[in-house]
Amino acid sequence: MLELRRHKAAFCKDHLLEHLQNQVRKTIKEFKMLQSGERVLIAVSGGKDSLALWDILLDLGFLAEGLYIDLGIFNYSQTSREKCENFARYKGAKLYVASLPEMYDIGLETIGRGVSRPFCSVCGIIKRYTMNLGAMKKDFPVLATGHNMDDEVSALLGNLLQWKPGYLYRQAPHLPPRQGLVRKIKPLCRLTERETAAYCFIKGIDYILEECPKARGATSITYKEVLNRLEKESPGIKDQFYLGFVRKGRYYFKEEEEIKLNKCSFCGQPTGAPENCSFCGLMDKAGLDPLKITEAFDGKKRG
Ligand code: AMP
Ligand code: ZN
């Protein structure tokens, strides 16, 4: 039995699975995320959330394929990749892999050092770029990530504490496509970490337990701890905070005029910057060819 205090209910294994799938189905419907049977690319990290998401979307009848970005973070990336490959094989689903070590012979650590920027920011730039590029190149109308409610609530708290209006408006469970950016959805935004872990446990989904070694000490972890303390005192408070925000609050942060996106003069992908996108800028600084990744998705290979 698993007790979910915020729903004032306890579930046996079978009913828990049904409940969690229903929560995802409801979220997809409320935020008009997917049409029935639609093709969707899931960014999978090998962790519990994205693999649970892949499993649920396949069970719900969507044509869900995966994209794993191998950042070359030593054993961590190796193990995460294996978890994704094993899952894909078991389910008979297609997995695309974009691998920094295979394309560039180096990993995130070396790139980060070369550009003297924090790893998490370099990682974020590479992942966001690759996810969008992969979805566009492989003709997916939509990209799904495994962000769960705890991720979203802690990001929300961080964005509020630092008053980032643009980020607040864009923190949505469903972002429509615009100017070269694919539509993005977060169908697990109503499930907590504990719930996605329980889902994987019951379904026998093998995921990487370890957190990214580079993320240790991240502020988001402190926010999650604080929010869990609040939740313990007032069950349901995270739900209220998050759902209130996405249903009403975020619209207060809508800009009068949307920031216009330009085409990166190097790779052609969308960017808010006047010339080069942050990915091309980063790779150029690290002495690497940004176009290799585009060519890898196109199935071309250069030495
Ligand atoms: P994170 O940014 O690590 O909290 O991960 C948030 C979401 O981004 C995950 O649920 C995945 O959907 C996606 N993601 C994270 N890391 C990767 C990766 N290496 N490859 C593909 N998708 C990823
Ligand atoms: Zn670019």
Q: Which residues does residue 98 pair with via DSSP β-bridges, in sequence order?
A: 69
pLDDT in tens, 115-136: 888 888 999 999 999 999 999 9
**Ligand 1 proximity of 145 Cβ (cutoff 6 Å):** yes
The residues placing their C-beta within 5 Å of ligand 2, an ion, are 264, 266-267, 269, 277, 280
Q: How many residues does the chain have?
A: 303
| pLDDT per position as a tens digit, 189-213 | 999 999 999 999 999 999 999 988 8
- What is the pTM (predicted TM-score) of this model? 0.96
pLDDT at 217 over 80: no
pLDDT of 189 reads: 98
In the reported structure, the alpha carbon of residue 43 is separated from the centroid of ligand 1 by a whole-number distance in angstroms of 6
Q: Which of 196, 191, 194, 195 is nearest to 239 (CA)?
A: 191
Ligand 1 close to Cβ of residue 147 (< 6 A): yes
Torsion of CA 275, 277, 278, 280, to 10 degrees: -100
Ligand 2 geometric centre to CA of 166 (Å): 22
Q: Is 106 helix (H, G, I), strand (E, B) or coil?
A: coil
Extended strands (E) in the chain:
2-4, 9-11, 39-43, 63-70, 95-99, 142-144, 174-175, 183-185, 262-263, 270-271
> Which residue owns the Cα nearest ligand 1 atom 14?
45
Look up the CATH number of domain 2-246.
Answer: 3.40.50.620
- Which tens digits make up the pLDDT trace of 52-80? 999 999 999 999 999 999 999 989 999 99
Confidence check: pLDDT of 258 > 80? no
Residue 161 is predicted with a pLDDT of 96
The whole-angstrom separation of Cα 171 and Cα 121 is 18
Q: What is the pLDDT, as a whole number, of residue 73?
A: 92
Rounded distance from Cα 2 to ligand 1 centre (Å):
27
Give the nearest ligand 1 atom to 215 CA. 3
Of 229, 239, 244, residue with least CA distance to 4: 239
